[in-house]
Structure 1
Amino acid sequence: MMTNDLMNTQSTKRFGRRAFVLGAGGAFAALALPGTAKAQGLTDLLARASDSALDKLAKPDAFYDDEDIRIKLPIVGSVGGGLLGGILGGSRGGLGLLGGVTRKINDAAGVAAGEAKPIFRESIGQLSLTDAPGIIRESDGGTQYLKSSAGDTLLGKLRPLVDTALGELGVYSEIDKLSERSRVVAQAGLTSDRVGSSVTDQALDGIFSYIGSEETNFRKSPLKNLGGLLGDVLR
């Protein structure tokens, strides 16, 4: 039969071990908290950068006026300044057979960008930011991570928005008619599906470019542009 002193001693040891385990768990939780805060801060940063970029690109002529992201017809882009490119797109000023289409596909990209906020927000919300410190060190680290992690998903979700815009602006019908009337257009293989795919690819590249720029700008003055948790994370 145990004495009271022995029972008290063993009880104390058990309590001590329990307290140690609980204390360790609390310590680990405390250590994990900064990482969680950084991940949340990065998610908020990306969401704001995405919204800002898409707002800018949704403005009239945003894609067309920016030569760095201006969208080109796939055949014109592939043949550069060659004869076929000049005939289709116009060697100067876009006055060829498809000169007017070039501006319309850029308009369609802008319309799609204006509708794309929810799909970017969804993809950003699903990111697993396990390397928050590493991402923070790069001026556009969040954007690059989004592109590598969710680029294919975003491409698939952006395509229907681009298709709808191209259809409503009459691009697809115009290309189909030109293909029927012009042997040059038909030989170039300029189909509606090819145009839709190319416009989506180029539009997404432009969007990522703008998101990266917005992220970099936010990082330069985090307390001014972001404030609160985001400012603390990026300082």
Structure 2
Amino acid sequence: MLRRQFVISTLALTLAAPALAQGFGRLSQGDARSGIRAALDTASRLATERLGRPDGFFADPAVHIPLPRNIATLQTQLRRVGMSGPVDDLELRINRSAEAAMPEAGRIFTDAVQSITLSDAVSIVRGSDTAATDYLRGRSESRLTGLLRPGMESALTGSGAYQAVDAVEPQISRGQNMLGGLFGNRSATGSLRDIVTDHAVSRAIDGVFHYIGLEERAIRQDPVRRGTDLLRRVFG
């Protein structure tokens, strides 16, 4: 028992060194976990609010969702002859769908950060500037994908993106024009709706984690972003 208490105390002192140096007092493992949770709550909230606004994805080069590769190839070819309008509209609708899915993503992240354990928090506090973001992505991406997909399907339906997909699906299936040549036999990869949905979900999650990482880095490095005494103690 004494050995265990000594190890815990030594670890807590190691974590607390930066805070002690700035006069914030001793940092406990519980403080570390609470601080990481608070930081990720803040980072994920700011990220999803930013991306959930109109043009949050579409007008931001860092996270803009392009069309899946084969459709993008078609888009480029049609643009050369001034006929890319319908495909461009599909790209816009996909990005609008990602923006509409952000409130659901925010709720998922809020639930996910509550699973961080004491030992996880210790490693994260001592880790890189995006250690919390990397942890969250590594532990939750598969689950997030599964949970976010229905919301994205709903958003794609509401935005009209699926209607745009359905408009070209028969042409692709019949292979009567350039679309058929580009896509060929798609039976092994699923329906075009599935391809678009999987692509949209994957890129939307990439975008969210991109900004969660930026927010975490800012919280760690910028005292102004550490708006609470707890965050100042953890990252000070």
* Alignment TM class, shorter chain as reference: 0.7 to 0.9
Deviation, 1:73, is 1.6
Percent of matched pairs sharing the same residue:
29
Is 1:103 aligned to 2:104, yes or no? no
Deviation, 1:113, is 1.1
Matching residue of 1:146: 136
> Can you list the C-alpha shifts for 1:82-129, whole angstroms capped at 9, x where unaligned?
5x34236x3699935411110110010011013321111111111235
Matching residue of 2:167: 177
Change (3 A) 1:129 1:161: farther
Counterpart contact for 1:57–1:114, Cα < 8 Å? no
Task: Please give the alpha-carbon distance, in whole angstroms, between the structure 2 residues aligned to 1:93 and 1:135.
Answer: 51
Return 182-191 or 68-77, whichever deviates more. Answer: 182-191
Task: Please give the alpha-carbon distance, in whole angstroms, between the structure 2 residues aligned to 1:60 and 1:27.
Answer: 53
Matching residue of 1:198: 199
> Can you list the C-alpha shifts for 1:125-162, whole angstroms capped at 9, x where unaligned?
11235243442231111101101111111111111111
Given the alignment, which residue of 41, 44, 63 partners 2:38? Answer: 44
> Can you list the C-alpha shifts for 1:20-78, whole angstroms capped at 9, x where unaligned?
x7x8887777666711211111011001100010000001011111112111121347x
Is 1:225 aligned to 2:215, yes or no? no
- State the secondary structure of the residue aligned to 2:61: coil
Larger radius of gyration between Structure 1 and Structure 2? 1
Taking structure 2 as the reference length, what is the TM-score of the superposition?
0.77
Structure 1 vs Structure 2 CA RMSD = 2.8
Is 1:167 aligned to 2:122, yes or no? no
Counterpart contact for 2:75–2:87, Cα < 8 Å? no
Task: Please give the alpha-carbon distance, in whole angstroms, between the structure 2 residues aligned to 1:145 and 1:185.
Answer: 41
Return 103-112 or 67-76, whichever deviates more. Answer: 67-76
Q: Report the residue type matching 2:203 in the other structure.
A: Q
Which structure has more relative contact order (CA 8 Å, sep 6+)? It is: 2
Counterpart contact for 2:97–2:156, Cα < 8 Å? yes
Q: What stretches of structure 1 of length at least 5 have no aligned partner?
A: 1-20
Matching residue of 2:212: 211
Counterpart contact for 2:33–2:116, Cα < 8 Å? no
Aligned residues: 209
